[in-house]
Structures are given as structure tokens and as C-alpha cells.
Structure 1
Amino acid sequence: MKKSVAALLICLLLTGCWDQSQLKKLLFVDVIGVDYSGDSKELQVSCVISSLQNANLGGGNPNNVFVESTGDTIYDAVSKTNKEFPGILTVLETRLFLISTAFAKDQPLNYLNSISQFIANPLYGYLAVYDGDLTKLLRKKKINDQTLSEFLVGLLEDDKKRGKIPLNKIVQYILGGAGFLNDFALNRLEPFENGVRLAGTALFRDGRYTGVNLDDDNTLLAMLLDGTSGKNQLITGKVNDKHYTALVQNAHRDFHINAKDGRLHDIAISLDLDLKLIEAGLESKRHTKDMLAELEKQITADLLPKATNVIATLQKTNCDYLQLGHEVSAYHPKLFGGIHWWREQYPTLPIQPQVKVKILNTGILE
């Protein structure tokens, strides 16, 4: 009996060692960068692999390993890396796909569809645009004492939690497209000092990068106009040359599609914002009801031209980020003349945002 138990324990130990040995061969790709190789249409795929140096039972030192290869598709390039680099690449836990601006201008989603060919599909990684030298960025080991992958993913995670940026998970784009029209906005990163920073969003039309961007403030307004709840988003601006800061407590957006003589005439977008006022550049923290009513008017007057500018930018690039074409076709099919018709109408169609602000609470109210 004792011999049988001893043999069983030995088998279990041997099995554990074998599994541990196989695990050590796995290379977990944290970030994948996609660009063109020089002036060709061959893809240059960079992989940032997360690993531990001096690994032990108590942990180890996090580290990034950079590998790069070229291929006709992402799958092809990663397959070549497997042949050229010891270990087995696994993309199941890939958290970020970064694409260059050059690659983004040429139907990137068609190439990214090949991700579905991987045995383990990394469908929940972020998708973002990098407006700089992608290889130079991904070769970095650390930024601000963090590994490159932790820093990049952390930028997106933190701002996503604050509700300031679109979600942009890759599953949204490789499974059925982004919407009625393949128009969307991807989070944009750019070089900054010795590292990188978030810099608003890049606008896409028909799945291609337009080369036009929205800055951080305009991205926030675009998201509110797109119907996000906006909870705890920070809004800043000026009233009477004095800065104000407010937190969005709730946002409600609605479309009003108007016809004239049986034809689409204009679209009004109403945006109601409930705000918690943090500061308003006033000498006294005591706000009377009349003061708050006046502040509501002033903040509305500050936000309205900004929202109008966002709509104008979207129309100028013919990017229907708000999917207004879908609204017209779904709820007013008699007014909708088809996608080609919409592409012609959208840039010049009167689209007017209407902003209404209500301050819920602030400091001390007399």
C-alpha cells in the first residue's frame, strides 16, 4: 500500500514538472503593433512579450521582450516569428493592438480580420492608433518606471474608467463591423517627451483613417453626443474669462429628425447635461439660485459652439461617427435614399446640437 501511494505521488510530481516546463515555453504577447514594411504593402508586425526576470516563488521583475517580423497577414508574420524565435507565441492574453497612421489609412480592418484565424482569439484587446514611429515606441523597455505594455494599457484603462474615451475593443470591429456605416473613432496616442500620451481620437470613414483627429475635449463632447451616460466625466471651460470645472452626473441625448415636403430637412441633437459644479472662478463659494441660473446659461453658451464644432468636423470629413444615417433609415425609412445618397447628403445636411445644462448641487447654496 505504501509503495502504491509513493508511486502515485512521484507520478503527480513528474506531471507537474512537465506542465511547468511547457508553460515556460509559452511567450505571452501583450501588445501587437502593425505597420507597413517600408514603402511596400507587406505587414511589419511587432510583438511585445511580457515576461518575468529572476522569477521565483515570490514573483520576479516584470520585463518586456520585443520581436518583429514581416508577412502578408498578421497571422503569417506571427507564424514566422514562431519559427525564428525560441518558444511558442500565444496571443490569447493580448491586451492592445496598435496600428500606425499609414496602415490605418488602408482598410486596416480587412487585415485585422485574420486574427480570427488564431487558435486562441484575442478578441478583447484594445485597438488604437499611434501617430509616430511604431517600432521605435515598442522597442522601449520602460516608460516612467513601468514596463512599456503596462504603461500603454494603463493609459487606456484609466481613461476608460473615467469615461473619457471610447471603449474600442477589437471584437467590435472584426465581428460584423462597427455599425450601419463603418465610421468610427479610435483612441489616438502620440509621442510625448520621452514617452507617449493619449491625444484624443482618430476619425475613420468607411474603415479608413481620414487623417483628421478630435482632441481630448472634442472627443468627450462627441461621446456625449453619441449617447454615453457621461457619469463623472470632467468638463472644463471659461465663462466671463474665468475657468469653470464640473462633473457630469447624467447626460441624455436625443435625435429629432425633421422633414419638409416629404424630404429630409434637418436633424437636431438635444443634449441635456446634469452637472455638479466643482469651481466657477467666483470669489465667493456661496451660490444663490439666481447665480446658478446665470451660470447654467453661461456654461450652455460655452458648450454649444464646441458641440457645433464637433458636428462640423464630422461632417467635413464625411464621418458619420454618431450613426445618424442609421437613425434616419431605421425610424424614417421613407426619407432615406440609400447609403450612397446619405454620403452625399450628410456633409451639407443642417445638423444642429441643442445643449441644456442643469447644475444639481455645488458648495453652499443660499
Structure 2
Amino acid sequence: MKRVMASLLICLLLTGCWDQLQLKKLLFVDVIGVDYEGDSKQLKVSYVISSLQNANQGGGNPNNIFLESTGDNIYDAVSKTNKEFPGVLSVLETRLFLISTRFAKDQPLNYLNITSQFIANPLYGYLAIYDGDLSKLLDKKKIKDQTLSEFLVGLLEEDKEKGKIPSHKLVHFILDGARFNNDFALNRFEPYENGVRLAGTALFREGKYTGVNLNDEDTQFAILLDGTSGKNQLIVGKLEGKNYSALVQSAHRDFHINEKDKRLHDIEISLNLDLKLIEAGHESKKHTKDILAELEKQIAADITTKVSNVIATLQKTNCDYLQLGHEVSAYQPKLFIGMEWWREQYPKIPITPKVKVKILNTGILD
């Protein structure tokens, strides 16, 4: 019996050594960038590979390796890299797909769909757009004492936790069969000083980048209109020329589709916000019921103006980010005549936001 147990133990140890040798050959790709090569339709695929310098039992120094290859598609580019560079690219742990604005204007999801065919597919990586030279960005080793990959993903993770940006991962676009039309917004990076920063979202219509962007504040209100809970989002503005700030405790959005003479007349979007007031915008620290009621009215009016501007931008761009066409076709099918009709009518339909604010706790009462 002891001999059998000893034999099994030796086999396990040998298997572990074999696995360790295989792991050393793997190149774990953290970020994948996709652009066109020059003026051609060949894809230029960039890889940011995470590695450890001076690795030891206690850890090592994190580092990024930058590689680039071209191909007819992503699969082809990866295959070429595997032939030209020692080691095997592994995309199982890829955390971010970053596409250029030029590539984004040409049905990028049609090219990215092929990632689902990888044996170890990276579908849970974030998808974002970069408005700059993608190769130049991804070739950076570090930004602000962080590896490039940690910095980029860190920006997304932090703002996602704050509820300030949409949480878009590649799987949402490839496997989301419920999406009525292919209009959406991607988180947008732009060059900033010696590095990069998040700068709102880029609007897509029918899977193509429109070239129109929402800034940070517009993005915040767009995702509230899209139905996010908004928990702990910070809203700032001005009341009578003085600043106010409030934390969202909860948000509830609903659509009201109105008809007239058996035709779609208008759409009302109700947005109810429970807020914790941090800064009131005036000198008094004592809030009576009348003062709070007036504050709620003024803040609702300020937010209504901002939300109306977001809706106007979406309609002007003919980007149905809120999927209102789906709402009409699902709940008022007799009013919905077809997608071509919706594309023509959507920019013209009166869409009115109705914002209600309730202050739960000012946080500045005596």
C-alpha cells in the first residue's frame, strides 16, 4: 500500500513540473488593440502582455511587453504572432479590447465576433475606444508608476464602481441576442498630458461609430436614463449661481409611450432620484420643509435641462442608445411600423424627460 501511495505521489509531482513548463511558454495578453494597417483593410493587432521582471518566490516587478502583428482578422494575426515570437499567446485573461476611432467606424463588432472561436476566449474583457494613436499608447511601459494595462483597466474599474460609466464587456455585444438595434455607447479614452484619461463615451449607430461623443457629465445622465440604479453617483450643478452637490441613493426610470389618432405622439421618460444632499448652494445650514421642497424643485429643474441636452444629442445623432424603438415595438406594437420608419421618425419624436427629486438626508443639518 505504501508503494502505491508513493507511486501516485511521484506521478502528481511529475505532472506539476510538466504543467509548470507549459505555463512558462504562455504569454498572457492583458490588453488587445485593434486598428487598420495604413490605408488597407488589414488588421493591425497590438498585444500588451503582462510579465514579471526579476521573478522570485516572493513576487517580482510587474512589466508589460508590447507586440504587434497584422492579419486578415484577429485570429489570423494571433496565429502569425505565435509563429514569429517564442511562446504561445494566451487571451484567456485578456481584460481590455481597445479599438481605434478609424476602425470603430467600420462595423467593428463584425471583426470582433471571431474572438468567440478562440479555444480559451476572452469575451469578458472590457470593450472601449481610443481617440488617438493606438500603437503609440500601447507601447508605453508605464503611466504614473503603474503598468499600462493596470492603469487602463484601473480607470475603467474605478469609474464603473462609482456608477459613472457603462459596464461594457465584449460578451455583451457578441452574445446579446435581445438587443433590438445595434445602437450603443462605448467608454472613450483620449490622450492626456503624458498619458491617457477617460473622456465620456462614443456613440454608435447600427454598429458604427458616429464620430459624436458624450462628455463625462452627459454619460452619467445617459446611463441614469438607461436604467442604472445610480447608487452613490455624485451629481453636481449650480443653483442661482452657487454650487450644489448630491449623492444618488437610488434612481428609477420608466418610459411612457403616448399615442394620438392611433399614431405615436410622444415619449415621456420619468426619472425619479433619491438624493443625499452634500452641498446646498446657499449660506443657511438650517433646512425647513419649505426650503427642502424648493431645493428639490430647483435641483430637478437643473437635472431636467442636462437630461434634455443628452436626449437632444442622441436624437440629432440618430443613435437610439436608450433602445426606445424596442420599447415601442414591445409595448405598443400597433404604433411601430418597422425599423426604417423608426430610423426616420426617431429624430423627430418629442421625447420629454420628467425629473423628480427627493432629498432623503441633507448631511448638513445642525
Alignment TM class, shorter chain as reference? over 0.9
Shift of the 296–78 alpha-carbon distance from structure 1 to 2, 3 Å rule, reads same
Structure 2 distance, partners of 1:14, 1:347, is 66
The TM-score, its normalising length taken from structure 1, stands at 0.97
User: Partner residue of 1:259?
Assistant: 259
2:200 aligned with 1:200, yes or no?
Answer: yes
Deviation of residue 2 (structure 1)?
7.7
Deviation of residue 229 (structure 1)?
1.0
Structure 2 distance, partners of 1:353, 1:5, is 72
Structure 1 distance, partners of 2:297, 2:240, is 12
CA contact (8 A) 1:318 1:346 kept: yes
SS in 2 for 1:298: helix
Deviation of residue 286 (structure 1)?
2.1
- Map 1:143-222; keep pairs closer than 5 Å: 143-176=143-176, 179-222=179-222
2:351 aligned with 1:351, yes or no?
Answer: yes
SS in 2 for 1:278: strand
Shift of the 51–262 alpha-carbon distance from structure 1 to 2, 3 Å rule, reads same
User: Partner residue of 1:247?
Assistant: 247
2:29 aligned with 1:43, yes or no?
Answer: no
1:330-365 CA deviation, whole Å, 9 max, x = no partner?
000000000000000001111111111111111354
Structure 1 distance, partners of 2:154, 2:295, is 36
Deviation of residue 177 (structure 1)?
5.5
Structure 1 distance, partners of 2:343, 2:177, is 18
Runs of 5+ unmatched residues, structure 2: none
- Map 1:27-66; keep pairs closer than 5 Å: 27-66=27-66
- Map 1:82-97; keep pairs closer than 5 Å: 82-97=82-97
User: Partner residue of 1:134?
Assistant: 134
CA contact (8 A) 1:178 1:184 kept: no
User: Partner residue of 1:323?
Assistant: 323
User: Partner residue of 1:225?
Assistant: 225
Structure 1 distance, partners of 2:365, 2:163, is 29
User: Partner residue of 1:15?
Assistant: 15
CA contact (8 A) 2:315 2:347 kept: yes
- Map 1:262-277; keep pairs closer than 5 Å: 262-277=262-277
SS in 1 for 2:41: coil
Deviation of residue 131 (structure 1)?
0.5
Deviation of residue 7 (structure 1)?
5.9
Deviation of residue 285 (structure 1)?
2.3
User: Partner residue of 2:78?
Assistant: 78
Structure 2 distance, partners of 1:179, 1:11, is 50
The TM-score, its normalising length taken from structure 2, stands at 0.97
Structure 2 distance, partners of 1:109, 1:277, is 42
Shift of the 178–31 alpha-carbon distance from structure 1 to 2, 3 Å rule, reads farther
User: Partner residue of 1:298?
Assistant: 298
CA contact (8 A) 1:286 1:363 kept: no
CA contact (8 A) 1:285 1:363 kept: no
SS in 2 for 1:334: coil
Sequence identity (%): 80
